[in-house]
Chain A
Amino acid sequence: MHRSSEVKHVASYLNTRGCECFGQPCESHCPVLTDRTIHVQLKTFIKIRVKPDRTGVVTDGVKHSMNPFCEIAVEEAIKLKEKKLVKEVVAVSCGPQQVQETIRTALAMGADRGIHVEVSGKDYETLGPLQVSKIFAALAKKEQADLIILGKQAIDDDCNQTGQITAALLDWPQGTFASEMTLEADKLKVVREVDGGLETIKINLPAVVTADLRLNTPRYATLPNIMKAKKKKIANVKPADLGVDVCSRLEVLKVDEPPQRQAGVKVETVDDLVGKLKEAGRV
């Protein structure tokens, strides 16, 4: 289909999920207090608890904020706009009412308008990458987006699927784990961080890119921009309007905490060690 050479829309999919960091320091949006000494290396943790019925984790009362990789995605989109390589940046998020706060943050960073795809209650609990990708693909067609930038994965579910599935549904090329991206006419040069090192690819637009950690450093939203963001529009859309069924094909059987770490045992000699390993059936 005909497409003008000028990139029109860049849509950033924002993941708003719980800061469910499973006991690991979640530096991006938990307050971090560090001190120069070794003694008092202080980081705050949000303790994640499994629900009593073991169907998931407790999300009530847990602070939700923009996924850090999505912040990087938004930043990249805004950078492109500042370089006048794209005309408009649209921030999109799927979820309940509170997701609007996250979209507002993106608007305050510099996105032009937002789209809130309303998914709440039971549907939200079972919302996974496949449904989101379908929503996203439908929106991309509707908005005639030329470029979709997302975070490479959400730090709560660590799925790392949405970008890839979206590209497949749209039959668009994808540049995932991007640590660098350059727009050259209607082609996109993406440097990807892969296990073996860095891979540089050139893909045609329209395309999907997923942002990795080193792509950029997201800016703060400045106070004047926060105030201006209030005037920017956030459109409300339902998945049904896009013809998407958010019913999940997956059923969570159970969610358990990781097993408690057992205390170790000290042995005197190597022979003892081998003996113990044999006992445990490991050798």
Chain B
Amino acid sequence: MAADSASALVCIIILCSLCFQKTKALLIHPNTLFLNLTELTDQQKEFQELARKFSREEIVPAAPSYDKSGEYPFPLIKRAWELGLINGHIPEDCGGMGLGIFDSCLITEELAFGCTGVQTAIEANSLGQMPVIIAGNDAQKKKYLGRMAEEPLMCAYCVTEPGAGSDVAGIKTRAVKKGDEYVINGQKMWITNGGKANWYFLLACTDPDPKCPTSRAFTGFIVEADTPGVQPGRKELNMGQRCSDTRGITFEDVRIPKENVLIGEGTGFKIAMGAFDKTRPPVAAGATGLAQRALEEATKYALERKTFGKFIAEHQAVSFLLAEMAMKVELARMAYQRAAWEVDQGRRNTYYASIAKAFAGDIANQCATDAVQIFGGNGFNSEYPVEKLMRDAKIYQIYEGTAQIQRLIISREHLGKFKQ
């Protein structure tokens, strides 16, 4: 009897190890460290509380009129700057607070709840600064980041062109070295803060030879906005986030000193892409803030509006809509928090950042649409807040990497892990 059970035991053990061998191939996740789900620290809670208070008391009431007029919300941005809510990423030795991406995302979500137009204007600052933060030398950092901490200035990220958005390698803006300067010629398009920026991060082609690989053909520059030859175009009238300043910019024989090159000639592409890993989580956080707003507005309305003798929230069709919105918001939040946490740990987070941005952008649109649906006829009307959410949400599937590009990145990362 004992021998039988012993041999049975041996069999079981072998079986297990065989199974383990098989499942090992499926454990493609190189990183099995799960993020330790602890509460926010007291400081994080206070940051969030401050951003929430500011957003709900100052941004929410002002947002509808900025949306109607399209006026740049400078008073709000200035106030946010005074409270220390923007420029969080600027390192401490340049006068900033050196916040991690996670903390910045907490703040971003709260601001976006108020108005994503205002939040995008603020976020464009982070995007423009990020290449300098990750690739600038000490002099460049002190000069261009330092001034952002001293005054409420804006900056912009100039990469997209009329003919090249997703295909960054297809940009045609030329930078030619002449002595100690580079001469820039070309056109950029859809530049957030284009007309309000004090300086730009610019990506230009320094080696047009088709044989030159993408990784060596582009250079990143810091361009002062008042350099002769920089011509911002008219403010574009967009579908949503209308108070954000979006313009085309023409560069005509713009001379940039070589001191303003980031790292060195040919390194631009990597810098431009590297910035995204840090700015995609905040964009996802912004989309989540919008979705949260949609959920809250819809819930409140559903608990006030009656039809067929009861509150519409008591009709399952509506409560199910709300449930699905809640699911999406919670998951989007967890996604951006994971992406932000990963990069704060010093790890490459491209996979998580793309997932977060793609998912949050999609659900923001779905939640905004569902919110309008719950409001019914009122939702279609400009006197109620949800139609603005629907118009504002669309851009989250387009900027900072379209929904399709995100899927390209995710599939590439996923298959890459699988093949290892």
Asked whether B53 lies within 8 Å of A220 as measured between CB atoms, the reply is yes
In the complex, which residues of chain A have a beta carbon less than 8 angstroms from the beta carbon of B304?
A: 40
Other-chain contact of A224, B97, B296, B384 (Cβ < 8 Å): B97
Asked whether A36 lies within 8 Å of B42 as measured between CB atoms, the reply is no
- Known interface pairs A40-B384, A220-B53; A226-B46 also in contact (CB < 8 Å): yes
Binds A, one of B55-63, B119-127, B260-268, B269-277: B55-63
Asked whether B47 lies within 8 Å of A223 as measured between CB atoms, the reply is yes
Asked whether B378 lies within 8 Å of A39 as measured between CB atoms, the reply is yes
Binds B, one of A100-108, A113-121, A257-265: A100-108
Other-chain contact of B52, A31, A36, A42, A104 (Cβ < 8 Å): A31
> Which 4 interchain pairs have the tightest Cβ spacing?
A223-B84, A222-B84, A222-B83, A37-B383
Other-chain contact of B50, A31, A36, A221 (Cβ < 8 Å): A221
Q: How far is the CB of B257 from chain A (nearest CB, A)?
A: 33
Asked whether A32 lies within 8 Å of B56 as measured between CB atoms, the reply is yes
Tally chain B residues at the interface, Cβ within 8 Å: 29
Other-chain contact of B43, A34, A39, A230 (Cβ < 8 Å): A230
* C-alpha gap A223/B103 in the complex (Å): 11
* C-alpha gap A69/B53 in the complex (Å): 17
Other-chain contact of B84, A33, A35, A39, A224 (Cβ < 8 Å): A224
In the complex, which residues of chain B have a beta carbon less than 8 angstroms from the beta carbon of A222?
A: 50, 82-84
Other-chain contact of A36, B43, B297, B383 (Cβ < 8 Å): B383
B199 is an interface residue with CB less than 8 A from chain A? no
Pick 24 A–B contacts, CB within 8 A, sort by A: A32-B56, A32-B57, A33-B60, A33-B296, A34-B61, A36-B383, A37-B383, A40-B300, A42-B297, A42-B300, A104-B46, A220-B53, A220-B83, A221-B46, A221-B50, A222-B83, A222-B84, A223-B50, A223-B85, A223-B88, A223-B97, A225-B84, A226-B46, A226-B50
A227 is an interface residue with CB less than 8 A from chain B? yes
Other-chain contact of A227, B43, B52, B296, B384 (Cβ < 8 Å): B43
Most interface-central of A108, A220, A221 (chain B CB within 10 A)? A220
Q: How far is the CB of A108 from chain B (nearest CB, A)?
A: 7
Asked whether B42 lies within 8 Å of A34 as measured between CB atoms, the reply is no
A residues adjacent to B (C-beta < 8 A): 31-37, 39-40, 42, 101, 104-105, 108, 220-227, 230
Asked whether A33 lies within 8 Å of B300 as measured between CB atoms, the reply is yes
In the complex, which residues of chain A have a beta carbon less than 8 angstroms from the beta carbon of B97?
A: 223-224, 227
Across the two chains, which residue of chain B brings its CB closest to A220? Answer: B83
In the complex, which residues of chain A have a beta carbon less than 8 angstroms from the beta carbon of B383?
A: 35-37, 39
Other-chain contact of A220, B43, B50, B88, B385 (Cβ < 8 Å): B50
In the complex, which residues of chain A have a beta carbon less than 8 angstroms from the beta carbon of B82?
A: 222
In the complex, which residues of chain B have a beta carbon less than 8 angstroms from the beta carbon of A32?
A: 56-57
* C-alpha gap A35/B385 in the complex (Å): 7
Across the two chains, which residue of chain A brings its CB closest to B79? Answer: A220
Q: How far is the CB of A224 from chain B (nearest CB, A)?
A: 5
In the complex, number of A-B residue pairs with CB atoms less than 8 Å apart: 62
Asked whether A220 lies within 8 Å of B46 as measured between CB atoms, the reply is no
B301 is an interface residue with CB less than 8 A from chain A? yes
Other-chain contact of A223, B56, B83, B296 (Cβ < 8 Å): B83
Asked whether B56 lies within 8 Å of A31 as measured between CB atoms, the reply is yes
B54 is an interface residue with CB less than 8 A from chain A? yes
B186 is an interface residue with CB less than 8 A from chain A? no
* C-alpha gap A230/B296 in the complex (Å): 33
Other-chain contact of B384, A37, A104, A105 (Cβ < 8 Å): A37
B146 is an interface residue with CB less than 8 A from chain A? no
* C-alpha gap A108/B54 in the complex (Å): 15
- Known interface pairs A32-B56, A35-B385, A220-B54; A40-B47 also in contact (CB < 8 Å): no
Chain B 145-156 per-residue mask, 1 if CB under 8 angstroms from chain A, else 0:
000000000000
In the complex, which residues of chain A have a beta carbon less than 8 angstroms from the beta carbon of B42?
A: 101, 104
B64 is an interface residue with CB less than 8 A from chain A? yes
Across the two chains, which residue of chain B brings its CB closest to A229? Answer: B46
* C-alpha gap A227/B96 in the complex (Å): 12
In the complex, which residues of chain B have a beta carbon less than 8 angstroms from the beta carbon of A230?
A: 43
Q: How far is the CB of B187 from chain A (nearest CB, A)?
A: 37
Across the two chains, which residue of chain A brings its CB closest to B114? Answer: A33
In the complex, which residues of chain A have a beta carbon less than 8 angstroms from the beta carbon of B296?
A: 33
In the complex, which residues of chain B have a beta carbon less than 8 angstroms from the beta carbon of A108?
A: 46
Q: How far is the CB of B172 from chain A (nearest CB, A)?
A: 41
In the complex, which residues of chain A have a beta carbon less than 8 angstroms from the beta carbon of B84?
A: 222-225
In the complex, which residues of chain A have a beta carbon less than 8 angstroms from the beta carbon of B50?
A: 220-223, 226
* C-alpha gap A108/B300 in the complex (Å): 33
* C-alpha gap A37/B61 in the complex (Å): 12
Chain B 200-217 per-residue mask, 1 if CB under 8 angstroms from chain A, else 0:
000000000000000000
In the complex, which residues of chain B have a beta carbon less than 8 angstroms from the beta carbon of A101?
A: 42
- Known interface pairs A221-B46, A223-B88, A224-B84; A35-B384 also in contact (CB < 8 Å): yes
Chain B 40-81 per-residue mask, 1 if CB under 8 angstroms from chain A, else 0:
001100110010111011001100100000000000000000
Known contacts A35-B64, A39-B378, A221-B46, then 12 further A-B pairs from the complex at CB < 8 Å, ordered by chain A residue: A33-B296, A36-B383, A40-B300, A40-B301, A104-B42, A220-B50, A220-B53, A220-B54, A222-B50, A223-B83, A223-B97, A230-B43
Across the two chains, which residue of chain B brings its CB closest to A226? Answer: B46
In the complex, which residues of chain A have a beta carbon less than 8 angstroms from the beta carbon of B61?
A: 34
In the complex, which residues of chain B have a beta carbon less than 8 angstroms from the beta carbon of A40?
A: 300-301, 304, 384-385
* C-alpha gap A35/B64 in the complex (Å): 9
In the complex, which residues of chain A have a beta carbon less than 8 angstroms from the beta carbon of B43?
A: 226-227, 230
In the complex, which residues of chain B have a beta carbon less than 8 angstroms from the beta carbon of A37?
A: 383-384
Across the two chains, which residue of chain A brings its CB closest to B103? Answer: A223
* C-alpha gap A101/B378 in the complex (Å): 41
In the complex, which residues of chain B have a beta carbon less than 8 angstroms from the beta carbon of A39?
A: 378, 383-384
Q: How far is the CB of B302 from chain A (nearest CB, A)?
A: 12
* C-alpha gap A221/B304 in the complex (Å): 35
* C-alpha gap A226/B41 in the complex (Å): 13
Across the two chains, which residue of chain B brings its CB closest to A105? Answer: B46
Across the two chains, which residue of chain A brings its CB closest to B301? Answer: A40
In the complex, which residues of chain A have a beta carbon less than 8 angstroms from the beta carbon of B88?
A: 223
Chain B 96-119 per-residue mask, 1 if CB under 8 angstroms from chain A, else 0:
010000000001000000000000
Q: How far is the CB of A36 from chain B (nearest CB, A)?
A: 6
* C-alpha gap A104/B43 in the complex (Å): 10
* C-alpha gap A220/B385 in the complex (Å): 26
Q: How far is the CB of A47 from chain B (nearest CB, A)?
A: 12
Q: How far is the CB of B385 from chain A (nearest CB, A)?
A: 6
Across the two chains, which residue of chain B brings its CB closest to A230? Answer: B43
